[in-house]
Amino acid sequence: MNNKFHSFLHQQILLMLGLSLIPGLGYIFLGWLHDVITPALIWYGLVLSSSIWGFRLYKSFLNDTMTRNELEQWYQHLRWFFYTIFSLWTLIFVLYSGETTSKLHYIAIFTQLGASVVASTLLYSDKKLYIPIILILMVPLTIYFAGIQEWYGYILCLFAYIFMGVLLYSATSSNKLLVKTYYQATHDQLTDLYNRNQFIDDLQITINRLKSSGGFSYLLLIDLDHFKIINDSLGHDIGDELLIEVSNRMKKHITKEHTLARLGGDEFIIIGPEYADKTECQQVAQVFSEKLLKKIKASYVIPPHHLYISASIGLNVLNDKDIKVNTFVKEADIAMYEAKSAGRDGVIIFNDDFSKHIEQQLEVERLLHFALEKNEIELKFQPQQDQSSAIIGCEVLVRWNNKKLGTVSPVEFIPIAEQSGVIINLGQYILEESFKILFEWEKKGIILKQFSINISMRQIFHHSFVDDVKKICNKYINHSLCSKIVFELTETIVAQDIKKLITIMNELKELGIKFSMDDFGTGYSSLSYITQLPIDELKIDRSFVSNLHANEQNKAMVSSILNLANTFNLSIVAEGVETSDQMEFLVKNNCNILQGYYFSKPISSDEFEVLYLQKHPS
Ligand code: C2E
Ligand code: CA
Ligand code: CA
């Protein structure tokens, strides 16, 4: 049962008061005409006092701030009010039909019929009201007809039964329709949880209540981790079943005081109960959400699969702050994204620093849009050398020099460029500039074996990527230069859509382009990828190289990667080489290409030319 039901009934109170008090006066007049004035006055007195009761109920209804319990209590009172006021009509019926004047009988009968129609039309939203009330009104009438003990009396009795049946039937069918449409408008079809609309209404009520009480509550925004992968790889049916299972577990975890809704997709939201103290509220919420997370994470059996899923939860404490409902949700959303970027599978509480961080990001995003036209993008080149210290290649690394922000690291702006879509133009620019440089270097006698360029996810999956690469290959370089190009991919790309990726890679390979798996060893399924993807090179992640001498495990890790590369006939680059010890170890273990500050930082193309020509005087 819900507020809208209650407010519908609430509106019927005044109508009912009018329908009782005004015709009631007529009954006093009749009573006076036919000498039953005293009982009529007593009766009207009862109607009057019930009406006062009804009016107070009408007044005490505060749709926007009542808690569920308060609403429930109010509804109980309302029910008794309606029972009483309709019973009073039966009372006057009994009174007048006992009189000898037949005129009074006609009027009493009509009133009873009228009241039944009123009950079945005004109260059809609630079975607990209209069924007993129609019975209270109609059963005495049927008894009255039967009591005439004449043939026409029995016929009237039968008619009265039919009439009662019709009223009950029509009220019930309207009721069913109402309940169904109402349910559909407020619930999510798949999980039977409340939907977004209903949730927003409930949240608005909670916030209004907090404003008047000064208390606290909380909001949990729950987003399943990597749900898309399950949906895409196992199909939507399995995805749907998983969502149902997850929501069932959540239903079991919450209490009557919580509101649980599905916002759409794999996003759920919970409104907590009210607390007087903020710290208590936050602590309870944290414990509650951690337990919830644990329940969500227990494995699922959806034949024939055993599935495992975690979730990222954003927690926001609600208070009496004068802000919009959507702002509270947005803040929980921000916290949820923080949880995602902190590695998922966790709970993060919103704080104002997050919004500042987001504002900064938006500023970066805004400025990044103009970076290309303002010529703020610069390319650096980090040499790669072989075991004999000859420079055999380089990796192109992008730099952004902005007046306001200074030099921004690609670690910071590449993800923003990805999110905002700027990466498409930016990536295209990097490719074109790189190809131009490669061509110029060849002319100047700087002959490299390979030339590596980082490619990001959105860029490679962009529909025109392959065509764009073909075009700029034709425009700036020839086939022999093309076969020097290496595209570096990371595992996040591979995790997207491996089949599509393989197709794209194969098309590019026709141009002669090679592929390198960047940051190798950091992802969790690197091994399975190298057997599936047409790659040519592995890049051992910097973290393994820089910690080579920290423990034996890292050494073992690096030598296993080197062996692996050997087995699969892949060339291998160690990046982030900073010391001679690291270099020695790598050389001893047959790592063929080395890159790192020990040899050179990323440098400008001019500097690169100088360095190369120094090392390789023609
Ligand atoms: P990455 O592809 O793993 O690049 C290697 C990073 O390690 C570079 O940082 C490089 O400057 C740094 N590095 C190289 N040798 C050493 C060393 O000996 N010690 C230390 N401490 N660091 C070393 P950078 O240039 O800041 O790039 C960071 C990341 O940004 C790159 O990681 C890559 O993922 C991304 N990135 C850079 N340029 C591009 C680009 O043109 N396109 C795309 N999509 N991503 C790029
Ligand atoms: Ca790289
Ligand atoms: Ca790397």
Chain centroid to CA 384: 45
The pLDDT value given to residue 188: 97
Quote the pLDDT of residue 526. Answer: 63
Which atom belonging to ligand 1 lies closest to the Cα atom of 410? 30
Extended strands (E) in 299-436: 300-302, 305-307, 311-318, 346-349, 377-385, 391-402, 406-408
Mean pLDDT of 81-96: 94
Confidence bin at 524 (pLDDT 50/70/90): low
Among 295-304, 328-337, 541-550, 572-581, the range scoring the smallest mean pLDDT is: 541-550
- Alpha-carbon gap, residue 421 to 458, rounded angstroms: 8
If you take atom 45 of ligand 1, which residue's CA is the nearest one?
454
Atom number of ligand 1 nearest to Cα 597 = 18
DSSP, collapsed to helix, strand or coil, labels residue 590 as coil
Q: pLDDT for 271-308, tens place per residue?
A: 999 999 999 999 999 999 999 999 999 999 998 889 99
What would the mean pLDDT of 379-394 be, rounded to a whole number?
96
Residue 427 Cα: closest atom of ligand 1:
42
Q: Number of helices (H) and strands (E), helices first, in the chain?
A: 24, 16
Query: Which burial class, exposed, middle or buried, applies to 414 when counting CB atoms under 10 A from its CB (0-12, 13-18, 19+)?
Result: buried
The pLDDT-based confidence of 1 (bands split at 50, 70, 90) is: very low
Tell me the pTM. Answer: 0.64
pLDDT exceeds cutoff 90 at 2: no
Give the gyration radius of the chain's Cα atoms: 38
Does residue 539 contact residue 519 with C-beta atoms inside 8 Å? yes
Q: Identify the sign of the CA torsion 276, 280, 282, 285.
A: negative
Q: What is the pLDDT averaged over residues 241-261?
A: 96
472-477: long-range pairs with CB below 8 Å, 24+: 472/428, 472/431, 472/432, 472/435, 473/435, 473/511, 475/435, 476/432, 476/435, 476/436, 476/438, 476/439, 477/435, 477/438, 477/439
Token code pair at residue 21? 């008090």
- Predicted confidence band of residue 525 (pLDDT cuts 50, 70, 90): low
pLDDT of amino acid 102: 83
Mutate to test the pocket of ligand 1, among 542, 579, 581, 582 (most ligand atoms within 8 A of CB): 542
Tell the residue nearest (CA) to atom 12 of ligand 1: 576
Least confident range of 123-137, 277-291, 487-501, 554-568: 487-501
Look at ligand 1, atom 21, and give the residue with the nearest C-alpha.
576
Mean pLDDT, residues 102-122 taken together: 91
pLDDT in tens, 22-36: 999 999 998 898 888
Ligand 1 pocket test: which of 397, 493, 516 has the largest number of ligand atoms within 8 Å of its C-beta?
Answer: 397
Tell how far the Cα of 448 is from the centroid of ligand 3, in angstroms.
Answer: 20
pLDDT digit string, tens, across residues 308-361 = 999 999 999 999 887 888 999 999 999 999 999 888 999 999 998 988 888 888
Report how far ligand 3's centroid is from the alpha carbon of 574 (Å). 9
Q: Determine how many CB atoms are found less than 10 A away from the CB of residue 277.
A: 11
Condensed to tens digits (0 to 9), the pLDDT of residues 442-490 reads 999 999 999 999 999 889 999 999 999 999 999 998 888 999 999 999 8
* Amino acid residing at 387: Q
Residue 514, strand partner residues = 486
Is the pLDDT at 19 greater than 80? The verdict is yes
